[in-house]
Structure 1
């Protein structure tokens, strides 16, 4: 089932998510629905808060479905270490139509639980590292626009407010 994606400035996007202590059947269904929603959008990642659920769950596929084994589901992800910096353009399914340059770590090590309940770690770099950091931000109520320069952030906020007034923003 496809889930509705919340859009900025919805206040639910600002809430901190809670860790899972066990994976329930409801959580498994949520994960499957998040995967379907991410691919339908299409996007490279989706965090549970973006669909109004404040649990620490993210789904990622930097190939957007082109590689059969690229899908990663992370439960309770925690970034353990990071190195280097890279500034690249980012967008977000919760801020449709707007992009901006965001500085993030080039490489990271992340710990998480798989949907099978196994604790594991992943070393990621480049786009995957960026996507993980972006989605973990969502779990903490942070949007990519919060990481933009004040000038760019204010410009995007003004454009969105104007689009909302004109009925042109979802």
Structure 2
């Protein structure tokens, strides 16, 4: 089932997510709905707070990013062909490498894209959809998408990385998003 994406301004986007257990109600259905919602919205990642759940769950499919690049462009990224992964109760263990800029956007903040600096690599501890624990290191675009989604379960948004002047310049657009004054081709839920 395609779920509505929570728009900027909703309290749930600023909450730190709660850990869940394997007996979380209808977890496998929720994960399936998150994949369906993400793909229907043309996203490459989706976190539970974006569908109005304050839990530590997100999904990432960085393979899609590489599928949309020409072959030469993919050579710029060491993490090709990407991953498709469920992350439950994730905790960042270590950030490595130099910060690098990439133009990011967010399904909860449509029509706004900005260059955001993030670490080259992330080592993260997480459970998969079967509650098997993993500690893995990711780099490149995949690390970036993971860090973006991880921020969501920490109550942080990509715009938080912007300098105060840039945030001030975006205030009108952000206010419009929170009031539902934005046109997107996917279902959204707005703060009233």
TM-score normalised over the length of structure 1: 0.90
The answer as to whether partners of 1:75 and 1:112 remain within 8 angstroms in 2 is: yes
Point out the more displaced range, 100-109 or 156-165: 156-165
Superposed displacement of residue 68, structure 1: 10
CA distance in 1, matches of 2:18, 2:182: 33
Match of 2:141 in 1: 127
1:79 equivalent to 2:77? Answer: no
Q: Which has the higher strand share?
A: 2
Q: Determine helix, strand or coil for the equivalent of 2:110.
A: coil
Partner of 2:152: 138
The reply on whether 1:147 has 2:167 as its aligned counterpart is: no
Structure 1 position 113, deviation (Å): 0.3
Higher relative contact order (CA 8 A, sep 6+): 2
- Which runs of 5 or more structure 1 residues have no equivalent in the other structure? none
| Shift in alpha-carbon separation, 1:46–1:164, aligned structure 2, 3 A | closer
* Matching of residue 167 in structure 1 with residue 181 in structure 2: yes
Give the C-alpha shift of residue 163 in structure 1.
6.2
2:123 is matched with 109
Deviations 1:21-67 (A, max 9, x none): 32435111111100000111011100000000111000000123859
Instruction: Tell me how large the CA RMSD over aligned residues is.
Output: 2.3
How many equivalent residue pairs? 170
Structure 2 residues not aligned, in runs of 5+: 68-79, 184-189
Secondary structure of 2:26's counterpart equals helix
CA 87–68 in structure 1, closer or farther in 2 if over 3 Å, else same: closer
Matched, 1:7 2:20: no
Q: Is the 8 A contact 1:23 1:117 kept in 2?
A: no
Distance 1:168 1:22, change over 3 A: closer
Distance 2:153 2:2 in 1: 20
Q: Evaluate the alpha carbon distance shift between residue 160 and residue 115 of structure 1 in structure 2; reply closer, same or farther with a 3 A threshold.
A: same
